Amino acid sequence: MTRTIPLFLAAAALPGLAQPLLKSPEVHSDQSVTFRFRALNAKVVLLDREGAKRAPMQQDERGVWSLTTDALEPDLYGYTFVVDGTPLIDPSNPLLKPNLLNTQSVVHVPGAGPWEAGDVPHGILHRHFYKSGVVGDQRDFYVYTPPGYNPNATPPYPVLYLLHGYSDDASGWTAVGRAHVILDNLIAQSKAKPMLIVMTLGYGAPEILSNGRRGINAPDLRQRNYDRYRDALLTEVIPQVENAYRVAKDRNSRAIAGLSMGGAESLFVGLNALDRFAWIGAFSSGGLNEDFNAAYPALDAKANSQLRLLWIACGKDDGLIGVNRKLDEWLKAKEVRHAFTETAGAHTWMVWRRNLAQFASLLFQAKPE
């Protein structure tokens, strides 16, 4: 005869399963944060926090490893615990940073910042699904409509096509980047024009993810990814958006920008389609074709009459700062007007949220800075 043991009795009989829940992360009033993780038999546990070097945690007699940081700047930080070499999410924390290759836990240190949800009118996020004839798969994209969106508005709304980075998905700019919150706040403060944001899936060749980071470093596969992404955007996503929403269809009302891989895609698509986009932004661009003459064969000083804004940014501590500086120098040599901004920070969302807030405030203005 088989007997079923109640789950709570089974848990009590096994060591470690009936331990009290840990409070982790714990944000203190001075903006320091304590992280805790129970691993009785672990030899080494490190805290791997976004924007910081890995740091060793200390174990107590109960097998709880902990680390308290210095005061942190208000923001959202991804982190994992590296337990004897294996990265793990925080089991005490339900807040996660989604990623196709590297899911992390997230700690929110509250404070002032355009990504903080405030007592302002809020826009709406819409999710669309469709079968891509270009790529051959089922995919999605998100659309942010601003507060008070009017489907009969005159004039129609401008649109920013906003691209995620390598290993993110179409939800990256909302789930982690908080693009919808940033625009809510900027619009409420009259710092940005009411606009739609379209956030697409950035893989024209999804197989680029199959080999991890090696995929983005394979030139042929990377270019196929960019080519097919461009075709899906121009022939599938944009027509759907322009059919479903009250948006302007002229190039002066259309912008494209992205982070990391999405920055490279924005430059590739935008600079080779100035008849479609007058506003282009690239944040910490990664996966760039460093043969810029081949990547943008028609780009020269004549583009200045079409470009309303070409805005490029990268963190000074980012490993991609070198190639972004090379792009800046090449654009100068070609006499293409652009803004190049070096900010504090590395290859992190803390940099990109701030990039978006600055870039969005310049879009669709009569005279961008």
Across the chain, mean pLDDT equals 93
The share of the chain scoring above pLDDT 70, in percent, equals: 94
Q: What's residue 18's pLDDT?
A: 56
| CATH code, residues 20-109 | 2.60.40.10
Pinpoint the residues of the chain covered by CATH 3.40.50.1820.
124-362
Residues 172, 143: Cα–Cα separation, whole Å: 13
Q: What's residue 214's pLDDT?
A: 80
Q: What's residue 3's pLDDT?
A: 40
Q: What's residue 217's pLDDT?
A: 86
Nearest to 105 by CA among 88, 129, 119: 88
> pLDDT tens digits, residue range 149-170?
999 999 999 999 999 999 999 9
Q: Where are the alpha helices (DSSP H) in the chain?
A: 7-13, 172-175, 179-188, 213-216, 219-232, 238-244, 261-271, 292-295, 321-333, 349-362
Tokens of 192: 């940005």
> pLDDT tens digits, residue range 39-74?
999 999 999 999 999 999 999 999 999 999 999 999
Pinpoint the residues of the chain covered by CATH 2.60.40.10.
20-109
Residues 106, 2: Cα–Cα separation, whole Å: 43
| Superfamily designation of domain 124-362 | Alpha/Beta hydrolase fold, catalytic domain (3.40.50.1820)
In degrees, rounded to 5, the angle at the alpha carbon of residue 277 between the alpha carbons of residues 272 and 281 is: 85
Q: What's residue 213's pLDDT?
A: 75
Residues 141, 236: Cα–Cα separation, whole Å: 11
